[in-house]
Amino acid sequence: MSIERIESGPLMSQAVIHRGGGSVHLAGLIAADLNADTKGQTEQILARIDALLAAAGTDKTRLLRANIWLVDIGEWAMMNEAWSPWVAPGCTPARATVEARLAAPKARVEIMVDAALP
Amino acid sequence: MSIERIESGPLMSQAVIHRGGGSVHLAGLIAADLNADTKGQTEQILARIDALLAAAGTDKTRLLRANIWLVDIGEWAMMNEAWSPWVAPGCTPARATVEARLAAPKARVEIMVDAALP
Amino acid sequence: MSIERIESGPLMSQAVIHRGGGSVHLAGLIAADLNADTKGQTEQILARIDALLAAAGTDKTRLLRANIWLVDIGEWAMMNEAWSPWVAPGCTPARATVEARLAAPKARVEIMVDAALP
């Protein structure tokens, strides 16, 4: 069964397509511009998820699961201000959001998702 | 390949069935009654997992993986007092348990599982 | 669809093979010798991953996703000193690394991976 990797770097790939399982697995993503606030960082991450899912031939209507890490769990509502308008109605994934310190000092949020292929 | 969602809300679905991958993905679940202690909260979550797996047409003998978050990792043994009698002998999932602050202030434990369909 | 479990204990299995999904799911693994530093603990975990993937009939060239937890996210580079030479070039998984306290007091790093079957 074939595996395809998108933007495969020396430490990790940004997305891994598993045709045998009918799914694509994205890396834990942070914002490119870490000067943005938590809502802005989330918006950047979700746009990046859209791009990676498109590169894998699928889209956010086929999201399966999402792990979200917030540096301050008190910013849960702020993250959702970006998440809520982004998710496709009726197509929300299974999701878990917990607090954790992240590798990049200014990152406020990191998101990792799996989606089904068409 | 079809995707079915159980108790699909505006932020997340409680379970997402991925027929193409032969699996179901549950949301990170917390207890309904957060006045319970860590063992009691875990028991509530596991009963909820049973119900969601049943709604997806599968059960705990087909668990694949579990992520468990504890607000205090020192309560690992207390969580296991509920987990141990619940899991089906010979059918335990791959599991990781780490400490994390959770979105609901009184939640002591959150559990997210994936299971195979029959 | 058949499920096979490797080193299945009362709390968790070390690996769960899901033939229907074409994948194997490993438990969150820590080092056997917790006196090692973060790099050494990571090396031990990665050797253990190799062994479990082999037992499942696959290998690290088919890694799909990885979750890494570090007790001190400041040790991200130290963990990567073991990770970088271990991963197969061009075959890196989707990966997320965050900070979390772990159940075993001296454990510095825990890693949980999924891989595709051949």
Three-state SS for chain B is CCEEEEEECCCCEEEEEEHHHCEEEECCECCCCCCCCHHHHHHHHHHHHHHHHHHCCCCHHHEEEEEEEECCHHHHHHHHHHHHHHCCCCCCCEEEEEECCECCCCCCEEEEEEEECC
How many CB contacts within 8 angstroms connect chain A with chain C? Answer: 93
Whether the per-residue pLDDT at B55 is higher than 80: the answer is yes
Reduced to 3 states (helix: H, G, I; strand: E, B; else coil), residue A26 is strand
Predicted local distance difference test score (pLDDT) of residue C1: 60
Task: Evaluate whether C40 touches C83 at the Cβ level (below 8 Å).
Answer: no
Q: Quick: pLDDT tens for C72-92.
A: 999 999 999 999 999 999 999
Predicted local distance difference test score (pLDDT) of residue A3: 97
Q: Which residues contact C18 (CB under 8 A, 6 or more apart)?
A: B22, B23, B64, B116, C1, C3, C24, C25
What is the residue whose two structure tokens read 């499942």? Answer: C56
Instruction: Tell me, yes or no, if B79 comes closer than 8 A to chain C by beta carbon.
Output: no
Give Cα A87 distance to the centre of its chain. Answer: 12
Q: Quick: pLDDT tens for B37-48.
A: 999 999 999 999
Residue C39, both tokens: 């790099």
Predicted local distance difference test score (pLDDT) of residue C54: 98
Predicted local distance difference test score (pLDDT) of residue A1: 60
> How far apart are the C-alpha atoms of C25 and C16, rounded to whole Å?
5
Length of chain A: 118
CB contact under 8 A, A96 and B114: no
Q: Kindly report the nearest CA distance between residue C97 and chain B, in angstroms.
A: 13
Residue C1, both tokens: 């669809």
What is the residue whose two structure tokens read 């141990």? Answer: B84
Instruction: Tell me, yes or no, if C25 comes closer than 8 A to chain B by beta carbon.
Output: yes
Residue B56 φ/ψ region, left for φ over 0, alpha for ψ in the -120 to 50 degree band, beta for the rest: alpha
ipTM confidence score: 0.97
Q: Kindly report the nearest CA distance between residue A20 and chain C, in angstroms.
A: 6
End-to-end C-alpha distance for chain B, whole angstroms: 17
Domain covering B3-116, topology: 60s Ribosomal Protein L30; Chain: A; (3.30.1330)
Chain C residues lying within 8 Å of A18, measured CB to CB: 22-23, 64, 116
CB contact under 8 A, A117 and B1: yes
CB contact under 8 A, A101 and C66: no
Instruction: Tell me, yes or no, if C109 comes closer than 8 A to chain B by beta carbon.
Output: no
Q: Quick one: average pLDDT of B58-85?
A: 98
* C-alpha distances out from residue C57 to A103, C6, C29, C51, Å: 33, 11, 19, 10
Residue B1: pLDDT band with limits 50, 70, 90: low
Residue of chain B minimizing CA distance to A86: B11
Q: Kindly report the nearest CA distance between residue A14 and chain C, in angstroms.
A: 6
pTM given for the model: 0.98
Residue of chain A minimizing CA distance to C77: A103
> How far apart are the C-alpha atoms of B95 and C46, rounded to whole Å?
17
Out of C5, C27, C110, the one facing B98 most closely (by C-beta) is C110
> How far apart are the C-alpha atoms of A11 and A88, rounded to whole Å?
31
Q: Quick one: average pLDDT of C14-35?
A: 98
Q: Quick one: average pLDDT of B68-73?
A: 98
> How far apart are the C-alpha atoms of B75 and A55, rounded to whole Å?
43
Q: Quick: pLDDT tens for C26-68.
A: 999 999 999 999 999 999 999 999 999 999 999 999 999 999 9
Task: Evaluate whether A66 touches A53 at the Cβ level (below 8 Å).
Answer: no
Predicted local distance difference test score (pLDDT) of residue B28: 98
Q: Kindly report the nearest CA distance between residue C16 and chain A, in angstroms.
A: 15
Reduced to 3 states (helix: H, G, I; strand: E, B; else coil), residue C33 is coil
Predicted local distance difference test score (pLDDT) of residue A15: 98
Instruction: Tell me, yes or no, if C69 comes closer than 8 A to chain B by beta carbon.
Output: yes
Q: Kindly report the nearest CA distance between residue C7 and chain A, in angstroms.
A: 24
Residue A108: pLDDT band with limits 50, 70, 90: very high
CB contact under 8 A, A13 and C93: yes
Task: Evaluate whether C29 touches B65 at the Cβ level (below 8 Å).
Answer: no
